[in-house]
């Protein structure tokens, strides 16, 4: 019998798998053309990988005349089940089975059930679109569906809350060992633990930003000093990368209503990405200007630019083009979440002759 208990670290890994599954299913549905059965087959195979014991998980999906299983279903199983609703009628189901001789219902996670319900809902939307291609009713029903980001918010907020306390304990005890020990190897080992804990705490903080769990302190502030301070604090990063920056501030006294800490977070993430992709001896240009209702911050680098196929993905959580260990894939999703919470917009476009311009648009006053 498999062990049903799960550690905090394992829970984090499972939730990341769930997030990845949501995005892969969404991508499959967005790319759907032609055969419905082929698309449903792909969804089942992706769904199987999201479960805790994926090598033992068996996916069964029935939708009217369509039926698919990832392998033969044993006679005795335990399973999670979600109905597929089409135009307010039960037309099928999707189930995740485990063999009952090795598993019980306790081996399933609550968030796996949320994920299964979301996938069943997405399959329902896909089938409605298939039946109602080209009709306005599709748009109405799509809007009424649960927003994918609300599910992501629940998952990420859960990760953040569950990790905060153990990370604090790890960091505290590691600092205690470092300060009290005289043995060189112990000092080095504790320093590594501290570094890893601090990195993990920053990931947690980003998750909380992404899930809108961080309270906002909205007030009227001057924009140029915030931008200047961010550039100054990142001075060592510019120097180390052997690049420079130029500023173009159209209005030195420009004021807007926002959370200054969160604006700094936005600037840091965009600038650090720009520094990362910029070749040596190039310049990052930072512009600030406004119109009647909004102000704009543009950060332009001279790097390789963003591939057209990736432009729609760069704001997704856990998506990164950096090597493993160099990026959490949360930076730009945090930026996107903060900008949207300020009722603003963020977009990217090609710089000339090469590179990328990231433009942040925020209202001068929150309504």
Whether 1 is in a domain gets the answer no
Same domain, 166 and 256: no
- The DSSP output letter for 216 is P
Query: Measuring CA to CA, how many Å separate 153 from each of 74, 149, 209, 335, 367?
Result: 36, 6, 10, 15, 24
Q: What sign for the dihedral angle of Cα 273, 274, 275, 278?
A: positive
Whether 2 is in a domain gets the answer no
Whether 308 is in a domain gets the answer yes
pLDDT of residue 361: 94
Q: Mind listing the pLDDT tens digit of every residue in the chain (367 residues)?
A: 777 788 878 888 888 888 888 889 988 988 888 788 999 999 999 999 999 999 999 999 999 999 999 999 999 999 999 999 998 899 999 999 999 999 999 999 989 999 999 999 999 989 888 887 655 544 554 444 434 444 455 555 556 556 667 777 888 888 888 888 888 888 888 888 888 877 777 666 655 555 544 556 789 999 999 999 889 888 888 999 999 999 999 999 999 999 888 888 889 888 988 998 899 999 999 999 999 999 999 999 998 877 665 555 566 544 455 544 444 444 577 788 788 888 898 888 888 888 989 999 999 997 7
pLDDT of residue 145: 41
∠ CA 21-37-92, nearest 5°, is 75
* CATH (domain of 251): 3.30.565.10
Q: By the 8 A CB rule, do 226 and 360 touch?
A: no
- The DSSP output letter for 242 is T
Q: By the 8 A CB rule, do 177 and 186 touch?
A: yes
Same domain, 13 and 114: yes
Domain of residue 312 covers 219-363
Could you write out the DSSP letters of every residue in 277-341? HPPTT-EEEEEEEE-SSEEEEEEE--SS---GGGTTTTTSTT---SPTTT--S-HHHHHHHHHHH
Same domain, 42 and 157: no
Whether 154 is in a domain gets the answer yes
Same domain, 26 and 129: yes
pLDDT of residue 38: 92
Same domain, 92 and 188: no
Whether 79 is in a domain gets the answer yes
CA distance 310 to 272: 19
pTM over 0.95: no
Phi, psi (rounded to 5 degrees) for 258: -165, 180
Tokens of 198: 């601090």
Q: Which of 206, 290, 277, 205 is nearest to 243 (CA)?
A: 277
Whether 72 is in a domain gets the answer yes
CA distance 157 to 212: 8
The last residue of one of the domains, among 102, 137, 172, is 137
* CATH (domain of 87): 3.30.450.40
CA distance 224 to 295: 11
Same domain, 190 and 120: no
- The DSSP output letter for 107 is G
Give the total number of structural domains in the chain.
Answer: 3
Tell me the CB-side half-sphere exposure of residue 249, using CA atoms within 13 A: 14
């Amino acid at each position: 019998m498999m062990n049903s208990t799960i550690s905090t670290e394992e829970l984090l890994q499972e939730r990341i798998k769930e997030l990845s599954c949501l995005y892969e299913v969404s991508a499959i549905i967005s790319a759907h053309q032609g055969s419905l059965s082929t698309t449903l087959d792909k969804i089942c195979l992706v769904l199987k990988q999201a479960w805790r014991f994926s090598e033992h998980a068996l996916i069964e999906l029935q939708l009217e005349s369509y039926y698919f299983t990832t392998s033969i279903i044993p006679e005795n199983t335990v399973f999670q089940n979600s109905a597929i609703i089409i135009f307010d009628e039960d037309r099928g189901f999707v189930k995740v089975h485990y063999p009952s001789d090795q598993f019980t219902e306790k081996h399933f996670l609550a968030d796996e059930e949320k994920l299964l319900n979301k996938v069943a809902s997405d399959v329902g939307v896909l089938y409605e679109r298939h039946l109602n291609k080209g009709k306005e009713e599709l748009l109405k029903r799509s809007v009424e569906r649960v927003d994918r980001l609300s599910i992501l918010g629940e998952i990420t907020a859960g990760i953040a809350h569950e990790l905060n306390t153990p990370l604090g304990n790890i960091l505290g005890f590691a600092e205690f060992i470092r300060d009290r020990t005289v043995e060189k190897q112990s000092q080095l080992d504790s320093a590594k633990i501290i570094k890893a804990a601090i990195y993990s705490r920053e990931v947690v903080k980003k998750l909380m930003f992404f899930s809108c769990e961080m309270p906002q302190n909205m007030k009227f502030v001057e924009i140029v000093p915030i931008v200047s301070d961010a550039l100054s604090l990142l001075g060592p990063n510019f120097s180390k990368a052997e690049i420079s920056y130029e500023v173009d501030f159209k209005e030195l006294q420009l004021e807007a209503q926002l959370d200054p800490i969160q604006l700094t977070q936005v600037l840091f993430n965009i600038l650090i990405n720009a520094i990362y992709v910029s070749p040596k001896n190039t310049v990052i240009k930072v512009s600030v200007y406004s119109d009647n209702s909004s102000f704009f911050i543009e950060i332009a680098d001279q790097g390789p630019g963003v591939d057209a196929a990736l432009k729609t993905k760069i704001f997704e959580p856990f998506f990164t083009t950096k090597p493993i260990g160099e990026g959490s894939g949360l930076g730009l999703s945090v930026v996107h979440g903060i900008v949207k919470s300020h009722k603003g917009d963020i977009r990217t476009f090609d710089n000339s002759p090469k590179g990328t311009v990231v433009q942040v648009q925020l209202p001068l006053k929150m309504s």
